[in-house]
Amino acid sequence: MKEKIVALVPAAGIGTRLGDALPKQYLDVNGYPMIYHALSVLARVSRITRIGVVLSPADIHWQPLMVEAGAGRLLGKRVVTWPVGGQSRGESVLNGLQAMAGGMNADDWVMVHDAARPCIRVELIEQFIDELAEDPVGGLLALPLADTLKRDNGNLRVEATVEREGFWRAQTPQMFRYGMLVTALQRMPQATDEAQAIEALGHQPRLVMGDSANLKVTYAPDLKLARMLLTEEIA
């Protein structure tokens, strides 16, 4: 791959659904802030040239927590922070893209990964890069729906069973060409993920098979499961 790859990790959210005073990306997961685990995996992928973390301008947790854990020393110099987070994920990613603009060409790759997906594996990222290397658009990790899908009636009653064939659960990383992604998010900053913004331009992102262990920590049981999975990974 002749184009460079830069990873971008939006981490400007407050994560209140876990009911903790700390934003969820900083919650302790086996002795380190949750975000550290995602960053440490990205840092072990040699083809990623730089890792940018988008923080809230009001963030007060990164410096003390990451220093206390020794995370900065472990991650190395490829990790940089940009305190330019916005009110939504799309705004934070777009602001991060603009912060890195000086060193990017339009065809370079940007790999966006959730700070709250700490169980991503190096091997999965390497496979993901391989599958997208020659793709003109880019794509995302995703899993086909395996469970029966129900639609409610707004009152916690089943209105219908929905055909699940053809439906996928989006994960991260998601990786797209720098110039295309900037344009997409400028036009649709309210997108819930990068793929949605790319779709709005008329493109069809490629689906790459993900991993059920690459869960997003949203609720308390997710945090418990992430701790278990990462303990097994170390063992």
**Residue 16 pLDDT:** 61
Task: Tokens for 18, please give them.
Answer: 């876990």
* Cα three-residue angle 44-90-172, rounded to 5 degrees: 35
Domain containing residue 213:
5-234
Tens of pLDDT, residues 184-204: 999 999 999 999 999 999 999
C-alpha 174/C-alpha 188 separation (Å) is 16
Domains in the chain, number: 1
User: What is the rounded average pLDDT of the residues 54-62?
Assistant: 93
**Residue 173 pLDDT:** 98
3-class DSSP state of 16:
helix
Does this model's pTM top 0.85? My answer is yes
User: What is the rounded average pLDDT of the residues 73-77?
Assistant: 75
Residue 55: which CATH number? 3.90.550.10
3-class DSSP state of 43:
helix
Among the residues of 133-219, which ranges form H helices?
A: 178-187, 194-200
CA distances from 138 to 1, 32, 127, 222 (A): 13, 32, 13, 28
**Residue 77 pLDDT:** 81
Tens of pLDDT, residues 127-183: 999 999 999 999 999 999 988 999 999 999 999 999 888 999 999 999 999 999 999
Residue type, 195: A
